[in-house]
Chains A and B, each alone.
Chain A
Amino acid sequence: MIPFLERNLRITPIDAYIDPPVPRARAIITHGHADHARAGHGAVLATPDTIAIMKVRYGEDAAQRFQPLEFDTPLQVDDVSITLKPAGHILGSAQVLMEHKGQRIVVTGDYKRLPDRTAQPFELAECDLLVTEATFGLPVFQHPRPLDEIGRLLRSVQTFPDRAHVIGSYALGKAQRMIALLRDAGYDAPIYLHGAMIRLCELYVERGIDLGELRPSLEASKAELAGQVVIAPPSAIKDRWSRRLPDPVLAVASGWMSVKQRARQSGVELPLVISDHCDWNELNQTIAETGVSKVWVTHGREDALVYQCRKNGLEAEPLNIQAYEEGEEGDA
């Protein structure tokens, strides 16, 4: 069966692209991270949350036309049926399920399987061809339980009551998930936000996700920040901005943090292995559960996952859509 999806993620019968890196007349956007959602397309089909995020980040005119589509609601476009299934990655993130002449194709976008109350939970979709991401597609990536990582953070906060803990987190998704995890662990002190975090946190709250008391770090005195948790973009934690903090413990929340030598190399004192992507075991579990015979692998360490799929008797190919040579993009 020849797929009706091309290797650059163009859906042939309807001339629409999924997460295109350049402006296109018709785009389906899986989620709001910058490497998937770009401004300048003609018509954009996405979940209402994703559209809201794109408008916050790029403005109301981020695309010529937005068409919201709720989860699990099939949309017929010519002879292709399109359904957005929750991907569990961040608020509004979706997988794209396409059906055409009896063939089912799923493009996962970025996804994770672990529960996360800031994102709609992942739903499995059976298919003939699966296009999966592989950000953490190496068997060394076996993410620990997020709550255990939060435990390490809280222990450190207790051990250093005079120091601020600044947590480098991607502004969209990771920041809000970290706050939610802290709240769920019973941490109810105010959490301080770097300016770049504020608008997106407000958006999450507007869309019904409780994040507790948040304060802008800019308005807090140095003394007030001792013993507190501050959330900032990873790029800010080693920047001049962090000098306003009292003797900060530099933490970063990311799946990349599992490699201690890497954390050490980038001067991170408290690496928190909290990821919004599947780890190696979850990637393989998902591939097995969808019952596919054919897998395309993209976004990350294609080699190992392609090798593993082939070893399991599946047809598998890397797509090499975008080269993240070291894969150290921020949203992991």
Chain B
Amino acid sequence: MRRFAQLMELLALTPSRNRKIEALSEYFRETPDPDRGYALAILTGAMTFKNVKPAILRDVVLAEVDPHLFALSYDYVGDLGETIALIWPHHGDTEPLPSLSDLVELFNMTSKAELPRLIGSLLTRASINERWALVKFATGALRIGVNARLAKTALAEMSGKDLQDIEEVWNGLSIPYTDLFDWLEGRAERPEIDHTARFHPLMLSNPIDEEKDLATLDPAHWVAEWKWDGIRVQIIAAKGRVSMFSRTGDDIAAAFPDIVDNVFGDGVLDGELLVGEGFEPLPFNDLQQRLNRKVAIGKHLQTLPAFVRVYDMLFQGGTDIRSLSWTERRQHLETWFAQHPQTRLDLSPIVPFTNWDELAEIRRRGAAEHGHEGVMLKLRSSPYVPGRPKGLWYKWKRDPNVVDAILMYAQRGHGKRSSFYSDYTFGVWKGNEIVPIGKAYFGFTDEELKQLDKWVRNNTVASFGPVREVSKELVFEVAFDSAQQSGRHKSGIALRFPRINRIRWDKPANEAATLEDMQVFLTAT
């Protein structure tokens, strides 16, 4: 654990990406199996302990520390794991902590009832730095500026293998990755992966820069589709078994039996998960009700039937077609649909256009009349490249909706922004009162954040714990993708993807929007 804690500290504090990669590959080189595999699993977010929840850790600490003092401390530090590490009042520091693999074993074997005692004794045995790393290891909430990509890059660095090859085998591997390390260190062949049974990394798009990019692109080489407002999924159908993964590779099949029970034919498909009757997509809010559930609830299967709008094909049957051009893959996809009638899958239609101005007009109308989020542009000759390759796929989002809203409450941020009031709740006029319509915590620069923080501190009218109510004077121009009806908010409106577009230091609050002004956004969606 000591070595892992040192690595974690270095990763958290070293600003240089190269130095992080160096430190990781050195750690992987020097640490024996299976410890390094568990470290890799934690760093890539592949492993969590189902019983070790932040709430348990909090309880363990509150049994030892006055709750009011804990609350003041958490408010100051801003990170639960770090607060726990720093505030723990007992310091044994005599026996070393167990190794990572022993810890994994302990966390998995210990019953829920016994877990607090185990965690307490580990915290006491640890040094400050180990305690910090231990809490992060146990909860999986690292927040040290490391992601899976960086860890895999370090694996490539340590072994001289190609990063793409590592990505390819990655999803077929299981913790603690001994077969992977055997291959990386030349003791074994590349692990055999059944390519039809595993998640394949997705191809992602870049936002288009209308002024810079469009002028250089020849419309004849590009194809357009609507940008659907659901979630990206990958369906894998092979040998009578169907699975469905989210864009991060989480298996979400259990929550969508209506889809996985109704895929006919084999292949690997890329598309958008949506809900609605007869392939008519409902707003994202409705889909949200079905997301974040481990299993579907019966009522939703009736009221919110799911379907997938398919736009690409990675495997036709068992054959990998990712190296073919988009045009050829589309042909395969259309043939596949023709051969296999579907009830829960449909094809994302092509949007015909001849020049960019025409497409801009189509995009504008699509937003106004159907609430479309924008269009996707795909290079006809492009293969399916995992990751976010430059110049192959673009998203061209519609112009955001904007509204002038009034800042009502501010809350301290967490992590990097823990000392700043960086989470803002804003509202619009409803008669003589202001009702909240949403919350945003980005869209401003660091410099603006400082100014906002100062403004909040100087204009506080009341404090409730970490929340400050401010005088209703500051206007934000808030941008958002769409507005929907919502019973959850007093205003009856929920914004999708709100962000602070501009701070209107100049604008008086009485010129901000009213709830009536918001109605136009609702009808447009």
Contacts and interface: CB of A to CB of B under 8 A. Distances in A.
Interface of A: 138-142, 144, 258-265, 267-271, 301, 303-304, 307-308, 311, 325-326
B69 interface: yes
A328 B78 CA distance: 16
Contact of A138 (B69, B132, B418, B419): B69
Interface stretch (B12-20, B230-238, B315-323): B12-20
A263 B457 CA distance: 23
Given A140-B76, A260-B132, A307-B69, 20 more contacts: A138-B76, A139-B87, A142-B87, A142-B91, A144-B128, A260-B9, A260-B82, A261-B78, A261-B79, A261-B143, A261-B415, A263-B13, A264-B12, A264-B13, A265-B417, A267-B15, A270-B13, A301-B72, A307-B68, A308-B66
A142 B86 contact: yes
Nearest to B66: A311
A262 B89 CA distance: 21
B419 A140 contact: no
Contacts of B79: 261
B66 to A, nearest CB: 7
Interface in B22-72: 65-66, 68-70, 72
Q: Which 9 pairs across A and B sit closest by C-beta, in order of nearness? A: A140-B86, A140-B73, A140-B87, A304-B72, A139-B87, A265-B416, A138-B73, A269-B13, A261-B79
A138 B72 contact: yes
Given A141-B86, A269-B15, A264 B72 contact: no
Contacts of B78: 261
Contact of A259 (B9, B72, B86): B86
A111 to B, nearest CB: 22
A264 B145 CA distance: 10
11 contacts: A140-B76, A144-B128, A260-B13, A264-B12, A264-B13, A264-B416, A267-B15, A269-B14, A301-B76, A307-B68, A308-B66
Contacts of A139: 65-66, 69-70, 73, 87, 89
B263 interface: no
Contacts of B132: 260
A271 B13 contact: yes
Nearest to A138: B73
A268 B15 CA distance: 9
A47 to B, nearest CB: 33
Contacts of B416: 261, 264-265
A144 B89 CA distance: 13
Interface residues of B, number: 32
A304 B13 contact: no
B86 A261 contact: no
B494 to A, nearest CB: 31
Contacts of B86: 140-142, 258-259
B83 interface: yes
A138 B417 CA distance: 19
B82 A261 contact: yes
A268 B65 CA distance: 30
B269 interface: no
A166 B132 CA distance: 25
B77 interface: yes
Nearest to A143: B128
Interface string B122-150: 00000010001000000000010100000
Contacts of A267: 15
A138 B132 CA distance: 18
A68 B418 CA distance: 44
Contacts of B145: 264
Nearest to B73: A140
Contacts of A142: 86-87, 89, 91, 128
Nearest to B418: A261
Most B C-beta atoms less than 10 A away, residue of A259, A271, A304, A326: A259
Contacts of B83: 140
Nearest to A140: B86
Nearest to B15: A267
B69 A304 contact: yes
Contacts of B66: 139, 308, 311
Nearest to A307: B68
Nearest to B72: A304
A139 B15 CA distance: 29
A303 B69 CA distance: 9
Nearest to A303: B72
A289 to B, nearest CB: 19
A246 to B, nearest CB: 15
Contacts of B415: 261
Nearest to A259: B77
Contacts of A138: 69, 72-73, 76
